[in-house]
Amino acid sequence: MDTQRLHIAIQKSGRLAERSLELIRAAGYRLNKSAGELSYSVENAPIDLWCVRDDDIPTFVADGVADLGIVGRNVLAERESAGRDGLAEVMPLGFGRCKLCIAAPEGFSYDGPGALRGARIATTYPNLLSRFLKEQGVEAEIVTMRGAVEVAPRLKLADFICDLVSTGATLESNGLAVLDTILQSEAVLVRNARTLASDLAHVADSMIARFRGVVASQD
Ligand code: PRP
Ligand code: ZN
Ligand code: MG
């Protein structure tokens, strides 16, 4: 890794990938794709982009492998709920808005979190869900999955799910409806909690200022 360049971790594929690149281009950076499509180098600034799995971005940034990252607040918050630090949110980026919701088969009548008592809830966000349940004073069983959470009620793996909702299409096509929202999310810029070497701090500050300009112009 080149310590004379700033390293930004972005999502390789998924809902934030294309918008992350658009933001960086809109901020005036010219991107050159490297072989294998796993990274880009910026032509007109000492910056490299690494395209990685979204769930790996917090670890990359917290470990200092990357200086900054673009990730959903949901991913950052899940890590923080697990009691792991090393990351700070720099700014919201105004795209990738979604919410982390509790959902149930359509027709379930919900009168608040008490309705979840004793139930099984499937999620890929066990720490955020656990924190929510504790705050509500509700004991329930969390079924941790790696994905495809929306099929859990149909397979009788769980009574409820806790998952991201963006357009709502995934819930609808699985006969599920939102009961409650536990986190509002959007893409955020995250940074390593430690300070950067001064020449790179200048590069980072300039990039953050450009991002602020782009985000403000899109409001
Ligand atoms: C989320 C979630 C649903 C989908 C909901 O997954 O798990 O599958 O998006 O979006 P919708 O309301 O627009 O249908 P996502 O693809 O973001 O991430 P993942 O691959 O990490 O599960
Ligand atoms: Zn993911
Ligand atoms: Mg999904």
pLDDT, one tens digit per residue, over 95-137 is 999 999 999 999 999 999 999 999 999 999 999 999 999 999 9
Beta bridge mates, 187 = 72
- Assign residue 156 a region: left if phi > 0, alpha if psi is -120 to 50, beta otherwise? left
Ligand 1 centre to CA of 165 (Å) is 7
Which fold would CATH assign to domain 98-184? D-Maltodextrin-Binding Protein; domain 2 (3.40.190)
Residue 14 Cα to ligand 2 midpoint, Å, equals 8
187 CA to centre of ligand 1 in angstroms: 14
Looking only at the bridges linking them, the beta strands covering 120-123 and 141-144 are parallel
Contact call for residues 207 and 27 (beta carbons, < 8 A): yes
Element holding 203 (H helix, E strand): helix 198-217
- Ligand 1, CB cutoff 6 Å, lining residues: 14-15, 147, 163-170
Q: Above 90 in pLDDT, residue 193?
A: no
pLDDT over 70 at 40, yes or no: yes
Is there a shared CATH topology between the 6-96+186-217 domain and the 98-184 domain? yes
Q: Tell me what pLDDT residue 2 has.
A: 72
Atom of ligand 1 nearest to the CA of 149: 7
- Closest ligand 1 atom to the C-alpha of 169? 14
From the list 56, 39, 45, the residue with the least C-alpha distance to 208 is 45
Q: Where are the domains of the chain?
A: 6-96+186-217, 98-184
Chain Cα centroid distance, residue 21: 16
pLDDT on residue 199:
77
Q: Which of 12, 15, 125, 166 to mutate to test the pocket of ligand 1 (most atoms within 8 A of CB)?
A: 166
Specify the pTM: 0.91
The answer regarding whether domain 6-96+186-217 maps to CATH 3.40.190.10 reads yes
Q: What is the ipTM of this complex?
A: 0.93
Query: From ligand 1's centre to the CA of 147, what distance in Å?
Result: 9
